[in-house]
Amino acid sequence: MFPWNGLIKKHVAQRAYHEALQTLTLMHRTDICLLDHFTFPIALKACTNIQAWKQGRQLHGLILRLGFDWDVYTSNALLSMYSGCGQIRVAIQLFDAMPQRNTVSWNSIMAGCIRNDLAHESLSYFSKMIVKPKSSFSVSSLASEEPDTITMCTVLHAHAHLGPTGFPSAKAVHGYIIRRGFQIENEKPAPAAMRTEPFVENALIHTYLEASCLAYAQKVFQEMQPEKRDVVTWTTMISGYLHHKLENLALATFMSMLQQQQQVREGNVYVDAVTLATVIPALGSLRQGKQIHCLAVKNGYDQLNVFVATSLIHVYAEFGTIEYADKLFQRVKDRNVVAWTAIITAYAKHGQGEDSVRLFNEMRRQGVTPNHLTFMGVLTACNHAGLVDQAQECFRCMTQDYGLIPEMHHYAAMVDVLGRAGRLREALEFIKAMPVDASSPVWGSLLASCGYHEDVELAHEVAKILLSMEPDNPANLVLLSNMLAQKERWSDASEVRETMKRLGLRKVPGQSSIPVH
C-alpha cells in the first residue's frame, strides 16, 4: 500500500493534482483493499486544490462504503475539502454528524466558515468548543479537543473579518488568550531553544488594526519581546500605520526593524520583499526612495520581485525622475501586467503620451494581456498629449480585442480626450451612445471642456444635467457662471449666481499644502 500512497503524495507535492486522482483511480481498479485511511486525506487535498468537490463527494461515498468515516483524520480531510470548495453547508452537516472530533476538526470548521464569509458561525463554533460539557463520556472525548495556537489565530481571523463590530468580542478573546498562556508577556527574554513563533501576537495585532483600534495593536506590539517579533509582526504594524495615514510612524517602525536586525545579524540586514513593498508608499522624498532602492538591490528584489520593483517605479515617477523609473523597469526580469502598467502610467503622469503608447504596443507584442488599469494609463497619456486617434484605437482595442467592459472612469477619460481636442459634439454623441447611463464625472469632463473651448450653449445644457444629478455640488454652476462672465453675458451669469443662492450652494475656497523635507 505504501508505494501507491507515496506516489499520490508525490503528485500532490508537485501540484500534479489530476495525476494524483488518476493514480487513485488506478489504485482502486487494481484492488479496492489497497485503499486505507492514509490514502483518502491525500486524495482529498488534491480535490481541494482543483476545486473538484464532485470528485471529492465520490470519495466521500467510497469512504462511507469502506467504513473510514470513523477515522478522524479522514473526516477532517473531508471537512477541509467541502469548505475549501465552497460547500460549507455540507461541511457543517458532516461536522455535526462526526462520531469523533479533535482540535483539528474544530479548527477546520471554523476556518471553513471564515473562508465562506460566515465569521459569526465560526465564533459560534469556538464558543461551543470551549464550553462543551466535560462530564459525559463520548467517543469524541477520547481525542483532544482543547484549543491550540491555530485555534486562537483562526478565532482572531474571524474577528478581523468583522471589523470594528467585532472589537468587544476580540478583547474578550484576548483575555482568554492571556489566561490560557497563548500570549507570553515575560520581561526576561526566553532562551533561543524555547522561543516560539509569534502567531497569536501577530493575529492580535492584525485583528485590532482591522477593528480600527490602533492603540490596542500598538500595546500588543510594544509588549512583545523584541527578539520575538518576526517579519510578519513588523510588516503588519507598518501596514497598520499606513492604513491610518501615519507615514512617519510607518517609516520609524521600519527603521527600528532594520536596527534590530543589525544587532541580531551583526550588521547584515535582510529585508523581506513584502515588508519592503509595504513601506514604500510611506516614502516622502526621492532620497528615501533611493535608500529603499539600495536595500532592494542588495536583496535582489529590484530584478526578481515585481511588486517591489513596481512600487519603486511609482516612487520615482511621483518625485519626477522618470529616467530612474525606466532604468528600473528595464532591469525587471519577469515583466507582468503590473510592471507594464506601472511604467505606462509613470510616463503618462509626466506628459509623455507617445512613450506610453509605444510601451503599450510593446507590451502587446510580448504577449502580456493588459487590464483595466493599463487602459486607463494609456487613455490618460493620450489625454495629456492630445493623441485622439490613439485614444480611440485604445478604447476600441479594450472592448473588441480583449473583451473588457469599460468602467465609468474609462468613459470619462475618453470624453475628456475628445473634449480637450475641441471635438465637443463628438464627445456628446459618445456619451449618448454609452450602453450605461453616464455618471456625473463623465458629464463633468464635458462641462470642463466646454469651458476650455468657450462653448457656452452646450455648457448650459450639460450644467442642467449635472444640476439634476448633483444638486448639492456648486462647482458645476460656478464653472458655468465664470464662462458666461468671460463672454460678458452678465445677466446670465448673475442668474446662475442667484440660482446658487436660492439653492443654498456656496463654493468652498480651495486649499493646498507643500510638504517640506
Share above pLDDT 90 across residues of the chain, in percent, rounded to a whole number: 55
> Which of these ranges, 191-195, 211-215, 317-321, 508-512, has the smallest mean pLDDT?
191-195
Q: Please provide the CATH number assigned to the domain covering 412-507.
A: 1.25.40
**Residue 192 predicted with pLDDT over 50:** no
Query: What's the pLDDT band for 221 if we cut at 50, 70, 90?
Result: very high
| Cβ-based neighbour number of residue 267 at 10 Å | 7
> Which of these ranges, 43-47, 170-174, 361-365, 511-515, has the smallest mean pLDDT?
511-515
Would you state the cell numbers that stand for residue 226, as one nine-digit string? 523584541
Domain ranges of the chain: 1-100, 412-507
Q: What is the reported pLDDT for 141?
A: 47
Q: What is the DSSP letter of 320?
A: T
Query: What's the pLDDT band for 186 if we cut at 50, 70, 90?
Result: very low
CA proximity to 378, closest of 366, 399, 365, 392: 392
Q: What is the reported pLDDT for 448?
A: 83
Per-residue pLDDT of 315-371, as tens digits, reads 999 998 999 999 999 988 889 999 999 999 999 999 899 999 999 999 999 999 999
> Which of these ranges, 12-26, 221-235, 448-462, has the smallest mean pLDDT?
448-462
**Residue 496 predicted with pLDDT over 70:** no
Q: What is the reported pLDDT for 268?
A: 54
Q: What is the reported pLDDT for 99?
A: 84
Per-residue pLDDT of 126-185, as tens digits, reads 999 988 655 444 444 445 688 899 999 999 999 999 999 999 999 999 999 988 887 654
CA proximity to 207, closest of 238, 244, 162, 250: 162
Over residues 430-453, the mean pLDDT reads: 88
Q: Does the predicted model carry a pTM greater than 0.75?
A: yes
Over residues 473-478, the mean pLDDT reads: 68
Q: What is the reported pLDDT for 369?
A: 95
**Residue 244 predicted with pLDDT over 50:** yes
What does the buried/exposed string (b/e) look like for 79-104 if buried means 16 or more CB atoms within 10 Å of the residue's CB?
Answer: bbbbbbbebbebbbebbeebebbbbb
Per the model's pLDDT, the better-predicted residue between 495 and 436 turns out to be 436
String of DSSP letters for 122-165: HHHHHHHHHH--SSS--GGGGS-----HHHHHHHHHHHHHHGGG
Instruction: Report, in this order, helix, strand and coil percent for the chain, each rounded to 5.
Output: 75, 0, 25
Per-residue pLDDT of 266-301, as tens digits, reads 555 567 889 999 999 999 899 999 999 998 888 888
When the pLDDT of each residue in the chain is averaged and rounded to a whole number, the result is: 86
